[in-house]
Structure 1
Amino acid sequence: MIDDGNGQPMVLIDEGPVLLGLHADGVAHLRLNRPDDANGMNLELLSALQEAVLRVHGDGRVRSVLLSGEGKNFCAGGDVHVFLDQGEALPDLIRVATSRLQTVAGLLMRLNAPVVTAVQGFAAGGGGLGLVCSSDMVVAGESSKFLAGATRVGMVPDAGVSVTLTHLVGFRRAMEILLLNPVIAASEALEMGLISRVVPDDRILQEAMALTRQLAEGAPAALAATKRLLWNGLGLGVEACMPGENHAQAQMSGMADAREGLAAVIEKRSPRFTGR
């Protein structure tokens, strides 16, 4: 049975950095599961997320998808400790990590099922903000915060954010967000069109699940076609930008500035960039 009558989903993936359950009404629930590391993305999590999204993609029972993160934060982006430990070998890791994240972002956009993301705490970096920008709808808690963060550590946006963010909030605002890295409050994120709804912090999952279930009750083919039409309006631009993002990310991550930026985040200080 998919459901025991108490709203409990059938467990499809029950351990590891990404969990997956399927409810009787066709709601698939994807959960990032590195709570002690703010769901920071390492290769293990990215691989597991890619596998889980592909599993959802191939399951005809799925009518809608809820994406959430365990713990205090939705996703703090890439795991800066893992990145800094790579030293001058960081570009090799970044090429693989960026490629996997871009695959996940593309899959979320191309899923027939609508994707609702629930955000608590921080959604930051290519991982957090990238998943937000790749979702169809986003429900955020009142105290949640959003941060681009890439240029802060001497890198560039990825997960298609260089295109999706511009379409969501406009060119000038996207430029400010990506170059200056302001911490964006939920209310401001709602006003600029980055997210869909703001709800009380203690109601995030309940409200996001209610919206996901509402979508699951809709006409599947009509919702899928409508979603496809909307994403296709910018989809070619998103997919065309991803190889450039990957190349630039690997190039930037090989510079001393990237290692300095990562160290500054870990040490909670301002970075000292030299342009090298």
Structure 2
Amino acid sequence: MRNCASEVWSFGPSRNDEIQTTTKAKLMSNDIVLQNLDQGLLTITMNRPDRRNALNPDMTRGLVEAARRAAEDHQVRAVLLKGAGGTFCVGGDVKSMAEGRAPLPFEARMANLRRGMEVSRILHEMPKPVVAQVDGAAAGAGLSIALSCDLRVASASVKITTAFAKVGLSGDYGGTYFLTHLLGSAKARELYLMSPVLTAQEAFALGIVTKVVPDAEVGEAAHELAMSLAQGPSVTLGYIKRNINNAEHLSLEACFDAEAMHHSRSGETADHKEAAKAFVEKRKPVFSGH
């Protein structure tokens, strides 16, 4: 395994899903999904700014591979997901849909979509905190992907909407699942059936976003939050995330069992011992992620 502090991975339309290690200087302007690993924080950037980071097959393929790599790589302790050009993601590329390419058979279309949707599942289930930098717009599948993240930092001018009903689609990438668990079924029905466009403050009041900051500060604020998590007690943060995910579908007794196991295992980590020592010594703990 590589032991460098900062690396960049990129995905483009001709890479056939391969992860290619490169340097910042070698990144090409047509790279669609960029990845930068720095001090345990993996920043994943959707990079189609000319299309407001609308999803196409190459981007969804790259996002799935980036998310899977983040989940499996022990060097990655937290993830920051963002979009290039001041927009998070406006969802599927509706313009391409309207161009009317020869349609694939139904089963093939559904299978392709289902493969792309894995990005939301992986981000939601990976035992590492994921922060979304939500600026410009988060619509349709773009909102669904943002909702799959653990925390969302929004710019003051961002516009947020499910959007699906307005283009004659029912929704994908897990948006109905995440909104229902986050807000309850009544509010999820409202946001999906009526597709209102929410301001950042409205989204914050509902609990859709974690915090709202001025547009010029959103990048710094999201990065600062994500980096603080990357430098935290990684094993414990993973257990916390699993406990909360368990609470979405397990019984109370099963959740108690999982909590007891995770809490006991957390107590055996080097980070817990460091935190206890730092408390006694009245200093800030320095976590190693172990």
TM-score bracket for this pair, using the shorter chain length: 0.7 to 0.9
Look up the match of 1:99: 114
1:87, distance to aligned residue in structure 2 (A): 5.5
Distance 1:148 1:29 in 2: 25
Distance 1:235 1:46 in 2: 27
1:234, distance to aligned residue in structure 2 (A): 2.5
Task: Kindly provide the CA deviation profile for residues 62-91 of structure 1, in whole angstroms up to 9, marking residues without a partner as x.
Answer: 111000000131100000122122367265
Alignment of 1:23-102 (within 5 A): 23=38, 25-86=39-100, 89=103, 91=106, 94-102=109-117
Deviating above 3 A after TM superposition, structure 1's stretches of 4 or more consecutive aligned residues are 90-94
Q: 1:11 aligns with which of 8, 16, 25?
A: 8
Give the 3 Å change call, closer, same or farther, for CA 140–181 of structure 1 in structure 2. Answer: same
Q: In 2, are the aligned partners of 1:148 and 1:181 still within 8 Å (CA)? A: yes
Look up the match of 1:271: none
Rg larger in structure: 2
Task: Kindly provide the CA deviation profile for residues 106-162 of structure 1, in whole angstroms up to 9, marking residues without a partner as x.
Answer: 000111210000011110002x11111100000000000101011111111211111
Q: Unaligned stretches of 5+ in structure 1?
A: 4-8, 237-276
Look up the match of 1:174: 188
Alignment of 1:214-233 (within 5 A): 214-233=228-247
1:101, distance to aligned residue in structure 2 (A): 3.1
Letter in 2 for 1:72: G
Alignment of 1:214-253 (within 5 A): 214-234=228-248
1:19, distance to aligned residue in structure 2 (A): 0.2
TM-score (norm 1): 0.78
Q: In 2, are the aligned partners of 1:40 and 1:75 still within 8 Å (CA)? A: yes
Q: Unaligned stretches of 5+ in structure 2?
A: 11-26, 251-290
Alignment of 1:119-268 (within 5 A): 119-126=134-141, 128-234=142-248
More helix per residue: 1 or 2?
1
Distance 1:28 1:72 in 2: 19
1:166, distance to aligned residue in structure 2 (A): 1.2
Task: Kindly provide the CA deviation profile for residues 44-64 of structure 1, in whole angstroms up to 9, marking residues without a partner as x.
Answer: 110111111112122111111
Distance 1:81 1:106 in 2: 26
Look up the match of 2:125: 110
Look up the match of 2:24: none
Q: 2:36 aligns with which of 18, 21, 29?
A: 21
Distance 2:179 2:32 in 1: 27
Distance 1:231 1:38 in 2: 31
Q: In 2, are the aligned partners of 1:46 and 1:97 still within 8 Å (CA)? A: no
Distance 2:171 2:249 in 1: 17
Give the 3 Å change call, closer, same or farther, for CA 11–60 of structure 1 in structure 2. Answer: same
Q: Which has the higher contact order (CA 8 A, sep 6+)?
A: 1
State the number of aligned residues: 229
Distance 1:83 1:94 in 2: 13
TM-score (norm 2): 0.75
Look up the match of 1:264: none
For the aligned residue pairs, the C-alpha RMSD in angstroms reads: 1.8
Distance 1:185 1:97 in 2: 32
Identity %: 35
Letter in 1 for 2:242: R
Distance 2:213 2:120 in 1: 25
